[in-house]
Amino acid sequence: MIRRLLLTLLFCSLGMLAMVSAQNSKYWVFLKNKKSVTFDPYSYFDKKAIERRIANGISLVDSTDFPLNSIYETSITSLADSVSHSSRWFNAMCVYASSEKIEEIRNLPFVSDVELMESAPIACSVEGAGWDTTLNASMTSILEKQTKRMGGDLFENAGIDGKGIRIAIFDGGFPSVNTSPVFEQIRKENRIIKTWDFAKNKEFVYGYMSHGTMTMSCIAGMIKGKKIGLATGAEFLLARTEVKREIFSEEENWLAAVEWADKNGADIISSSLGYTYQRYFQNQMDGKTTLVTRAANFAARKGMLVVNAAGNDGDNDWHIVGAPADADSCLSVGGIDPITDFHITFSSLGPTWDKRAKPNISTFGHVAAAGKNGMQQVDGTSFACPLAAGFAACAWQMNRSLKNMQMFLEIEKSADLYPYFDYAHGFGVPQASYFTENKKQISDTSFDFVKKEDVLKVMVRQAYLDKKTGGFQSHLYYNIQDTDGLLTEYNVILVSSNEVLSFRTSNYKKGEKLNVHLGSYTGSYTF
Amino acid sequence: MKKILAIAIIILISGQCYSQQILFHKDVKDTTMGKVGPNLKNFHHFYIGFGFIGGDNNGAGNDIVLGKSTNFVFGYRYKLKICKHYAIGYDLAFNSYTFALEQKKGKIFPDTILHNKKETFSYYNVGLSPYMRFNYGRRGNSIGKFIDLGAYGDWTYTARTFAKDKVENGNIVKITTSNLKYINSFNYGALVRIGFNRWVIFGSYRLSDIFKTSDTYNFSELPRTTLGLQVGIHK
């Protein structure tokens, strides 16, 4: 009898558990206005944030920076179970409330909308994690390549290391950043300006997931005199926004962190997170639907350069870039394989659902990074993103007069495939030479289009083949672009003789375009 | 191999000829929302589960050893989404129940002989279980959090008892008895599941009787409740 009772109780508790978890949910409560609030930008913003606004021609008094109306806040707080965060930009509060209370909140005259929240996972893999202080040959090789591929030695020779640029990193924790020799110089020079754990609402961030340590090392780490990332002289704001391994991210934390970064003068946000199928559908990757995407665009409007990982869904059903990498103003970074030098299989692809071109650029998707206890080789666009963020800091240091979106475009232009573009590589890997030599290297024409009757051939010039020293110079990229400017296919092929490609022109519609890139030369043919 | 063939066919169709090695090729697919997915119109996947049988040992001569009496299931689950918070579906599953029988005085099932190692009664089924699913919480194209309520009907294709004894000379004697005449071929019951994505806690309650009642056999029913964990085999 007792057992039967116990089992009945167990069944009931299962049901109750479900009901309880359904009842006390987390919601975004959006407010209608900011009536009767006062705002002093000089007391709210960090000096650096004011400088950035002035440099970008942004007003210091913008209603989106105003605090929330305190009367509204008090009313909502009295009804909610608890308040987690609030957002000035979205004029919203994040609250825990029962379904009855949230209805009461929804009916308040100053509430414009209520949105249910959930946490959302994104897949980012860490391979070969382990304690390793030494740099083996394979690790050294990757380490040297990951900055050299962007022409990092040119920045180094020019003494450019991101000095004066403030980078906010959003991640799941930064264990050993406060002790590791990889970040010693940063600590010595007090260049970790502020830290905040948005999951626990406290300053300490030097624990939890080592993912943040690794991404930070890909921006600014140094090991045995070798640069892991390029911006070894930059300043940092470290925000813990994610709360579980395999990156259970909280969109709410991201929003709070981006406003915090703005307030504290960040120039660049490096965010290796993304929201995909757990929370959204693919048709919501349209650059305007998700809150985090809108926040990324907001951050750009405030003068910050948002650098975000494209995502690791290229080889699964999701396929396309996640949020916020789908944002127009977000520099979305895809991954290439350091061995093959083209798209690494897992890196998410463009276009966005609404057919916009993404990712913007690529860097290595397999890197050597500093973890909690030593160097590791790791995979993920999570690490391509900070490599690009480090590059951006150096490029911006050299061009402080540029506004954030001008810098965005310059970084795209610096990429080695530019003006060629495809949905796997974006414009390719950004190159320091574009900034240090103040121009893009113009190379000789490497191929010609030759049309005979119905056949169009792409012929590689003999001079190019003679000069070619092997390696990746022999990769030819080409795509077919339809009359709306969308790519219908794209390819990378290995060049070994003059006659590379031939096309039957009658198979293509009038106005469709063939774009080809070889060496650093891009040519197009319109059918 | 299939990929290479596909690329070759695409190339032939599109009228392009290559004299070079293709390293990377992508066709840009039409971006239309599919109909098959964890939170789309249709979804199906395999699953595996393990549970414990529990309930009242009524002292009628067929008490079971709790913790050693188990249920195993491997099945296929289909879900049809009706609206955001409601879906219906069915499971087709192979499952087995094994009851570890307590060896103590007064035992009458399947007989009164006490075995010094162990004795079990097992039956194996294939079954169909229709269910209703209530989803809650916001989610994208993932299964999310849910509660399932349903029923099951199983056809028992075999049942057997197994006894194991250590005899005086140290040898082990195992006896399997099958083709049991006192077993009903069909049984049915109610089920409840609570889950988050691939992880599912399930419970079932057998409403039908395992044993036939006749002049020859008149066993008390075995415990009817099962509780366990299922894992969906999907992303």
Please indicate, yes or no, if residue A156 is contained in any of the structural domains. Answer: yes
Give the nearest partner residue to A7 out of B55, B57, B194, using CB atoms: B55
Same-domain check for residues A507 and A360: no
Q: Does some domain include residue A10?
A: no
In a domain, A355, yes or no: yes
Rounded CA separation A89/A296 (Å): 11
Which pLDDT score, from 0 to 100, does residue A327 have?
A: 97
Q: Quote the pLDDT of residue B140.
A: 86
Q: For tokens 């990746």, what's the residue?
A: A472
- For residue B223, is the peptide bond before it cis, meaning its omega torsion is within 30 degrees of 0? no
Instruction: Indicate if A394 and A461 belong to the same structural domain.
Output: no
Residues of B in contact with A284 (CB under 8 A): 140
d(CA B156, CA B189): 14
For residue A21, pLDDT over 50 is answered with no
Q: Name the fold adopted by B35-233.
A: Porin (2.40.160)
| Buried-state track B77-97, b at ≥16 Cβ within 10 A, e below 16 | bebebeeeeebebbbebebbb
> Are both A321 and A224 inside the same structural domain?
yes
A281 at interface of B, judged by CB pairs closer than 8 A: yes
Give how many domains chain A has, as a whole number: 3
Residue A125 covered by a domain: no
Which of B23, B28, B140 faces A278 most closely, judged by CB atoms?
A: B140
Q: Which domain holds residue A464?
A: 447-526
How confident is the model at residue A13, as a pLDDT?
Answer: 45
Residue B213 pLDDT: 85
| B36 contacts in chain A (CB < 8 Å) | none
Question: Does residue A1 sit within a domain?
Answer: no
pLDDT at A504 over 70: yes
Q: Provide the mean pLDDT of chain B.
A: 89
Q: Is B32 on the interface with A (CB under 8 A)?
A: no
Tens of pLDDT, residue by residue over A154-198, are: 999 999 999 999 999 999 899 999 999 999 999 999 999 999 999
Rounded Cα distance between A43 and A66, Å, is 12
Q: Tokens 């798209």 appear where?
A: A343
Across the range A363-389, mean pLDDT stands at: 94
Integer Cα distance of B78 and A498 in angstroms: 55
Average pLDDT, rounded, for chain A: 88
Task: Please answer whether residues A335 and A362 qualify as being in contact, where contact means their C-beta atoms are separated by less than 8 angstroms.
Answer: yes
Identify the closest residue of chain B to A459 by CA–CA distance.
Answer: B19
The CATH number for A93's domain is 3.30.70
Residues 112 to 141 of A: which have CB under 8 A from any B CB? 116-118, 120
- CB–CB of A277 and B141 under 8 A? yes
pLDDT of residue A9: 42
Cα(B100)–Cα(B69) distance, integer angstroms: 5
Q: How many other C-beta atoms can be found within 10 angstroms of the C-beta atom of residue A225?
A: 5
What span, in angstroms and rounded, lies between the C-alpha atoms of A461 and A465?
Answer: 7
Q: Which residue of B has its CA nearest to A352?
A: B31
> Is the CB of residue A494 less than 8 Å away from at least one CB of chain B?
yes
This model of the complex carries an ipTM of 0.80
Closest residue to B19, CB basis, from A4, A499, A507: A499
Asked if residues A282 and A353 have their Cβ atoms less than 8 Å apart, the reply is yes
Beta pairing partners, A413: none
pLDDT higher than threshold 70 for residue A79:
yes
pLDDT tens track for A287-343: 999 989 999 999 999 999 999 999 999 998 889 999 999 999 999 999 999 999 999
A313/A456 same-domain check: no
Inter-chain CB proximity A501 and B38 less than 8 Å = no
Calculate how close chain A gets to B173, using CA atoms only, in Å: 34
Q: Which residue from A7, A282, A342 is facing B225, i.e. has the nearest CB?
A: A7
Residue numbers of chain B with a pLDDT score lower than 70: 1-20, 31, 57-59
Nearest residue in B to A501, CA atom: B18
For B81-102, what is each residue's pLDDT tens digit? 999 999 999 999 999 999 999 9
Read off the CATH number of the domain in which A164 is found.
Answer: 3.40.50.200
Distances (CA, A) of A462 to A230, A467, A503, B95: 37, 8, 21, 69
HEC sequence for A80-108 = CCEEEEEECCCCEEEEEECHHHHHHHHCC
Q: Examine residue A204 and state whether it is found in any structural domain, yes or no.
A: yes
